[in-house]
Amino acid sequence: KLSPDDFMQDLSRRRSGAKGTTPRSETDTPDILSGVFNGITTGAPLMLMTRNSDRRPGDYDEFRNIPRPGHADYTAAVKYSGFADMRGSGHFSGRITWGLVAAGVIAKIILQPSLVKAKLISAGGIDDIEKAVSNALSEGDSIGGIIECRISDPHKALGEPFFYPVESAISHAVFAIPAVKGIEFGSGFRAASMKGSEHNDSFVDETGKTLTNNAGGINGGITNGNEIVFRVAVKPTSSIAVKQQTFDFGRKEMTWFNVKGRHDTCIALRAPVIVEAAAAIALADLLMIDRAIHGSRG
What amino acid is encoded at 132 in this protein?
A: A
At 89 the three-state DSSP class reads helix
Give residue-wise pLDDT tens across range 114-160.
999 999 999 999 999 999 999 999 998 999 999 999 999 999 999 99
Residue 207 φ/ψ region, left for φ over 0, alpha for ψ in the -120 to 50 degree band, beta for the rest: alpha
Full set of structural domains in the chain with CATH:
5-294 (3.60.150.10)
Per-residue pLDDT, 258 = 82
Per-residue pLDDT, 283 = 99
At 238 the three-state DSSP class reads coil
Q: What are phi and psi of 290, to 5 degrees?
A: -65, -40
Task: Please tell me whether the overall predicted TM-score, pTM, comes out greater than 0.75 for this model.
Answer: yes
Per-residue pLDDT, 73 = 87
d(CA 105, CA 111): 10
What amino acid is encoded at 122 in this protein?
A: S
d(CA 153, CA 141): 40
Per-residue pLDDT, 20 = 67
3-state DSSP percent of the chain in helix, strand and coil, to 5: 35, 20, 45
Dihedral Cα 120, 124, 126, 128, nearest 10 deg = -60
**H or E stretch covering 278:** helix 272-294
d(CA 244, CA 259): 9
